[in-house]
Every structure is written in C-alpha cells, then in structure tokens.
Amino acid sequence: MKKRLLAILMTTALAASLIGCSANSSSSASTDGDTIKIGVFEPKTGENGGGGAQEELAIEYANSVRPTVTVDGKEYKVELDWQDNQSDKTVAVTAAQKLISDGAVGVVGGYGSGVCIAAGSYFADSNIPTIGTSCTNANVTLGNDYYFRTCYLDPFQGEIMANWAYDNGYTEVATIDNVGNEYTSGLVKTFTDSFTALGGKIIDAETFQTNESDFKAILTNIKNSGAKAVFAPTDYLYAPLLLNQAADLGLSVQWIAGDTWYSNVLIQDAGDNANGVVADTFYAEGGNSEFDTGFKEWLQADSSRMTTNLDSDAIVGNHAVAYDAYMVLMDAIESANSLDGAAIREALSSMNASDGFACGPYSFDQNGDAVKDTSYICGIDNGEWKFQSEEKVSK
C-alpha cells in the first residue's frame, strides 16, 4: 500500500511539474544566471540575405555599445541568439519557434515583411515582444500586440515616392509588381493611389512571379508604353536583373524604388546601369554624428565586418533602424524593470524616448508602429549613393 501511495505521489508531482513547465514556456523568458537572451530574427541567406547582413552588423554593434541591461537592481549580460529565417516564410516559423524554445526575452528583426508576418503570431502567442527593423508592410504589426517596429510603413514611403515622381515632372509612370510579395504589392498599391490622386497616370502596370529572372517581356512592354519613369519597389534580388536587362534592351527611364534598393551592393551588381536610380531610405549618413562615427570605427576595427559591409564603411538606412530596434528593446526592458514579456510590451506601448538612437526619438502608435514623418531621398550618381532631399508627410 505504501509503495502504491508513493508511486501515486511521484506521478502527481511529475505531472504538476510538467504542467508548470508548459505554462511557463509560452509566457516567461529564461535566464542563465546573469545572462538573458535576445533573439535576432534576420535572413542570413535567401533573396534578402544582403539586407539581413547589414542589419545583423548594426545589431551586433548595438550590443557592443550596450552589452548589459539592468532589471530590479541586477545587471544581466545580453546574449544574442542568431536565427536565420532564410528569407522564407516556412523557415521563418521554424526560426521563431527556436527563439521561443531558447527562452528569448525579446526579439529584434527583421528584414522582409513576409517572414515577419509569418512568424508574428508565434511571438505574440508566447508573449515575446519583437521590434521590427525594416519590415514595412502594414500587416506586420496590425492585430499583433507584441510586434513593434522602428521603420516607417509602406503607405508612408509609397506616398513619399509618388510625390517625388510627380514633383519631378513624371506624370506618366509604369509600375512593376511582384505578385504575392507583401512588400512590393503594398508599395505599388500605395504609390498608384497617391500618384493618381495627384493627377498622374499609370500607363503600364506590369507584374511578375517570385523567382523569375527573365524580365525582357515586361521591360519591352514598358519601352513600348512610352513611360519615362518606372516605379519598381522589388526585393533587392531583382534590382540588378531589371537594370541590366533594361540596358540590354535600350530602355532608358528614371528608375524609382523603395528602401530595399538602397544598398551599395546594387552599385557592384549593376555597375553603370545603376546610375540615376532613386530610392528612399530610413536614414541618411550624416544625420547623427555620434552614431556615424562610432559605427564606422567599429566596422574598421575588424576586416570581417568590413567584408560583410562590402569592403566599405558606408552607412545605410537599414543599419540605423536595426541599431535603434535593439536600443528600443533595451530601453523597454529597463523601463518595465522586468523580464516579463507583458510588462515589456506595456513599456513599449507607452514609450516616449529620445536619447541613444540613430534616428529617434521613438514613440509608437496603437498598432506598434513608430511615429515617423521623415524620409530621405537618395540617388546613385557616378557609382555613389548621394543624398538628394529630406521629404515629409503629415501623419
């Protein structure tokens, strides 16, 4: 009888401990003594691997600037948990689940709206606050109380680029849309709506499928349309293909793009064919001398960092918003004075901070989107990105 009672008690205790573990796994971050984990949800590979590499550099730099966080009087070392979402929605879910199982206190990332949308509900269900970097599609944060972001949104930059096109005398424009890509389709729609409201006309609306590489047919259609400018806010992968094939066909137009084209890789991959491209960006070098100087010195201190940054210390918008995303999360943790996800989320929702950012200050609206009113227009001139103008849209 005693053996039977002991077995029952042991079974009951084991069941209770398992239930407790299950309940805590989705709502409580793990700590290892004096260390907490912050997840990095970026594409190291795939079509957005180049942009992901830029953002990972900036997150690593931010961690070097602020390697610890203090909660309830205790200082914790911040360990970065790097997970590659491979620019793929299915892999993105696996990467998110790994960060959840690792006990990440919060997550920073990432580059590419589609993967962030795919992973977002998993972070929310686990009460893990996540700070997006350059995921600009509105649906990333919409309906997700745990996803915030430091970049502006596609409707904002779509309007900015429509204004730029119209103000620069391009009244008849062609567009190129990647069907099924949330980022591209969202920008094309916003640009079209804003541009036509100004009195402009879309005289050719071309589309293509993901992973296509031959654009000669749609480029020929654009050439025959007589369009003098093309709005093509595609993922970076397609940018040099479009520019080089357009040059082969003798298509000479003003190329207008979104933030993903703003990369030094484009100058390498498209050469002279990239000259004249105009794109918007979250941040222009020179906007914050402290950030610029510190990041450049950090890049130059390690040849592998310079290699990752294409043998350059040039700063792009993705660097700035990724750096800020890490700093925003650190601020929220210390403001909450807690490692609990719900408490950190509440601190984010009421944040109004101005110090320690590359392109702050930061406060967030009811959807978790950073309150932004400024974009920077840059163009490629003689193989270099050069600042053209600062543009604002009233919110």
Question: Which tens digit of pLDDT belongs to each residue from 48-98?
Answer: 998 999 999 999 999 999 999 999 999 999 999 999 999 999 999 999 999
Question: Average pLDDT of 344-372?
Answer: 96
Residue 182 token pair: 């949330």
- Judge contact between 178 and 208, C-beta under 8 A: yes
DSSP 8-state symbol, 281: E
Other Cβ atoms less than 10 A from the Cβ of 143: the count is 10
Picking from 28-42, 321-335, 369-383, which range would have the lowest pLDDT averaged per residue? 28-42
Question: Average pLDDT of 96-108?
Answer: 98
Q: Looking at the domain 155-281+377-392, which fold is it?
A: Rossmann fold (3.40.50)
pLDDT higher than threshold 60 for residue 7: no
CATH 3.40.50.2300 fits 31-152+287-364, yes or no: yes
Tens of pLDDT, residues 321-343: 999 999 999 999 999 999 999 99
Q: What are phi and psi of 127, to 5 degrees?
A: 55, 40
Q: What's the rounded Cα separation, in Å, for the pair 318 and 260?
A: 9
Give pLDDT, residue 33: 81
* Residue located via tokens 């686990």: 126
Give pLDDT, residue 29: 63
Q: What's the rounded Cα separation, in Å, for the pair 154 and 146?
A: 20
Residue type, 86: Q
Give pLDDT, residue 360: 87
pLDDT higher than threshold 70 for residue 177: yes
CA dihedral 217, 221, 223, 225 (to 10 degrees): 180
pLDDT higher than threshold 60 for residue 14: no
- Work out the pLDDT band at 392, boundaries 50, 70, 90: confident
Domain ranges in the chain are 31-152+287-364, 155-281+377-392
Give pLDDT, residue 310: 87
- Predicted TM-score (pTM) of the model is 0.87
Residues 6+ apart with CB under 8 A from 168: 254
- Judge contact between 124 and 144, C-beta under 8 A: yes
Give pLDDT, residue 179: 95
CA distances from 350 to 68, 301, 362, 364 (A): 22, 37, 10, 7
Give pLDDT, residue 184: 95
On the CB side of 137, CA atoms within 13 Å amount to 25
Residue type, 112: G
Question: Average pLDDT of 208-233?
Answer: 97
Segment holding 126, helix H or strand E: none
Give pLDDT, residue 294: 98
* Residue located via tokens 């573990």: 21
Give pLDDT, residue 30: 62
Q: What's the rounded Cα separation, in Å, for the pair 333 and 74?
A: 12
Residues 6+ apart with CB under 8 A from 299: 57, 61, 305, 306, 309, 313
Give pLDDT, residue 44: 95
β-bridge mates for residue 254, sequence order: 229
- Work out the pLDDT band at 272, boundaries 50, 70, 90: very high
The reply to whether 31-152+287-364 and 155-281+377-392 are identical in fold is yes
